[in-house]
Amino acid sequence: MTDVLIKNADVMLTMDDTRRELHGADILIHDGVIAQIGQNIRADDCTVFNAEGKIVTPGLVSGDLHFIDESRLAVDGGATVHTLTLG
């Protein structure tokens, strides 16, 4: 699995009790798991996305999809994970 480095994002730490916001932060995803969140993260051999001007909310779960009838998801083509391609 390719590692991903998201650079320059405005990150809202939804899993942090203080609900901190980090501006211009980086997120390193290793083997599909968030490995590091912080400033000026360096990593080799990964796909890099520039998220300047974008808000990233790691750990945020969409209540709209998790609290509806799950049997409708397959019929409607819905999913509980959303992927945003930055570009």
Full-prediction pTM beyond 0.75?
no
| Alpha-carbon distances, residue 65 vs 28, 46, 69 (angstroms) | 26, 31, 8
Task: Please name the fold of domain 3-76.
Answer: Urease, subunit C; domain 1 (2.30.40)
Q: Residue 42 has what pLDDT?
A: 92
CA distance 25 to 22: 6
Convert the pLDDT of each residue in 10-60 to its tens digit: 888 776 677 778 899 999 999 888 899 999 999 999 999 999 998 888 766
